[in-house]
């Protein structure tokens, strides 16, 4: 199995997980979010990723959320289930469950906090992805997992039989483009393509297949960026890229580490913006805290207004 076995490209959204004020999982709000994103034209969905606060959920909650995503999407777009877990046995269980519920693929980052050696990480992926016949995504997010998959190791990991893609969430664009050069002949490469630099790579034929974003704050404009790029309507696509860059710069701030933004955590910031837009985002789960400071909320509201979004 390799990139030729799937036809995925464009804007895939990492779904937030709505929690109620009591901390309980809010499945009706989650299903509503899936429906909203599908109606806005998203090309694919990821459930139980970093945006989805997977470390703060029980295994049962993760299974329920994955099943709800598959049911709500109803085959309209591919649904990828994040199965990462520090313990191999639990990741294997989640991978098997994803196949049972009809998910389209599984995704796993290096086991968080474990800091595996290259040999240990290879075995982890062999065990987890070997538990399912589904296509599998590697996920490199060093800010979250405290482990960074090197380009050399990626070259080995993409040889695992059902690996078809990588979500390359490195904060370094040079590493992202090096990933395209190294492995895009064998697997799909998703990363920071919703940008002017990404547009140049698409238009120039350099490579790169899509972008995984946290939520869909720009709504239909986010998948539209790729559709315009594929049609050669580069000026229109560039306008969307510029709007996205300005919005994310205001939300993240100058000193972001990619995970904690100007006014709070990444998930809390995304949910605050979605809630201001009247979307069913819910709240983050403790120990993550919601953004309640009036000045911070006003700054987020101003950023949304600048992006031509009603807030």
Q: Render pLDDT for 185-236 as a digit per residue (tens, 0 to 9).
A: 999 999 999 999 999 999 999 999 999 999 999 999 999 999 999 999 999 9
Say what the pLDDT of residue 260 is.
87
In terms of Cα–Cα distance, which of 142, 167, 166, 266 is closest to 215? 266
Catalytic member of 139, 177, 259, 288: 139
Residue 283, CB-side half-sphere exposure with 13 Å CA sphere = 13
What mean pLDDT value characterizes the chain? 96
pLDDT band at 258 (very low <50, low <70, confident <90, very high): low
Catalytic member of 11, 167, 177, 271: 167
Say what the pLDDT of residue 271 is.
98
Phi then psi dihedrals of residue 4, to 5 deg: -75, -10
pTM listed for this prediction: 0.96
Q: What is the CA radius of gyration of the chain?
A: 18
Percentage of the chain lying above the pLDDT 90 cut:
93
Q: CA 208 to CA 72: how far, in whole Å?
A: 28
- Given a cut of 70, whether residue 297 has pLDDT beyond it is yes
Give yes or no: 139 in active site: yes
In terms of Cα–Cα distance, which of 165, 121, 201, 160 is closest to 12? 165
Say what the pLDDT of residue 311 is.
58
Place of tokens 């350099």: 206
């Amino acid at each position: 199995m390799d990139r030729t076995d799937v036809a995925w490209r464009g804007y895939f959204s990492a779904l937030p997980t709505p929690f109620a004020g009591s901390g309980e999982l809010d499945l009706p709000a989650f299903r509503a979010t899936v429906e909203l994103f599908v109606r806005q034209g998203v090309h694919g969905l990821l459930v139980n990723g970093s945006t989805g606060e997977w470390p703060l959920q029980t295994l049962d909650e993760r299974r329920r959320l994955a099943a709800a995503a598959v049911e709500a999407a109803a085959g309209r777009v591919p649904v990828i289930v994040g199965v990462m877990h520090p313990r191999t046995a639990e990741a294997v269980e989640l991978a098997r469950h994803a196949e049972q519920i009809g998910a389209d693929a599984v995704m796993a980052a290096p086991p968080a906090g474990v800091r595996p050696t290259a040999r240990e990480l290879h075995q982890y992926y062999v065990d987890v992805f070997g538990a399912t016949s589904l296509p599998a995504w590697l996920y490199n997010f060093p800010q979250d997992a405290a482990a960074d998959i090197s380009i050399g190791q990626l070259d080995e990991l993409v040889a695992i039989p059902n690996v078809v893609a990588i979500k390359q969430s490195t904060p370094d664009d040079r590493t992202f483009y090096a990933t395209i050069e190294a492995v895009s002949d064998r697997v799909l490469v998703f990363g920071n393509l919703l940008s002017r630099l990404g547009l140049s790579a698409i238009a120039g034929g350099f490579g790169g297949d899509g972008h995984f974003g946290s939520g869909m704050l720009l709504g239909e404009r986010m998948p539209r960026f790729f559709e315009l790029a594929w049609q050669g309507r580069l000026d229109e696509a560039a306008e969307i890229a510029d709007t996205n860059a300005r919005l994310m710069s205001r939300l993240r701030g100058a000193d972001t580490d990619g995970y904690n933004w100007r006014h709070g955590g990444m998930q809390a910031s995304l949910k605050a913006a979605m809630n201001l837009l009247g979307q069913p985002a819910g709240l983050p789960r403790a120990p993550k805290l919601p953004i309640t400071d009036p000045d911070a909320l006003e700054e987020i509201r101003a950023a949304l207004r600048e992006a031509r979004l009603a807030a």
